[in-house]
Structure 1
Amino acid sequence: MKSRLFKALLYISGFFTAVICLAMNFFIIPKIEAGADGLRWLEMKFGYSEDYVIGFIIKSTSECRDIITNVQIPLDLFYMVCYGLFFSLLIIALLKKMTWLIAFPVTLSVVDLFEDLTLMNMFKSSDYIRFSGILTSVKTILMYICFLIIILLIIYRIKQHIEYKKGLPD
Structure 2
Amino acid sequence: MTTRKVKADTVLLIVFGIITAVICAVMNLYLIPHIEASTDGMKCFDMSVLGYSYEEAKTFVGSLSSESLGIYLNRQLPLDFVYPIAYCVFFSLCILKMTKRKWLVCLPVVLAVFDYTENICSIIMLKNADFSQEIATLARCATTAKTMLMYAVFIVIIVLLIIFVVNKKKANKTNDGEK
Common fold, TM-score beyond 0.5? yes
Question: Which of residues 3, 26, 45 in structure 2 aligns to 1:42?
Answer: 45
| Equivalence for 2:149 | 142
Deviates more, 1:77-86 or 1:158-167: 158-167
| Equivalence for 2:13 | 10
| Equivalence for 1:126 | 131
C-alpha contact (below 8 Å) 2:61/2:125 kept by paired residues: no
Written as runs of structure 1 = structure 2, the 5 A alignment for 1:19-168 is: 19-45=22-48, 46-95=50-99, 97=100, 99-123=102-126, 124=128, 125-127=130-132, 128-167=135-174, 168=176
The sequence identity of aligned pairs, in percent, is 36
| Bigger CA radius of gyration | 2
The number of residues matched between the two structures is 168
TM-score, length-scaled by structure 1:
0.92
Deviates more, 1:83-92 or 1:119-128: 119-128
| Runs of at least 5 residues in structure 1 that lack an aligned partner in the other structure | none
| Runs of at least 5 residues in structure 2 that lack an aligned partner in the other structure | none
Q: CA deviation at 1:98?
A: 6.3
TM-score, length-scaled by structure 2:
0.88
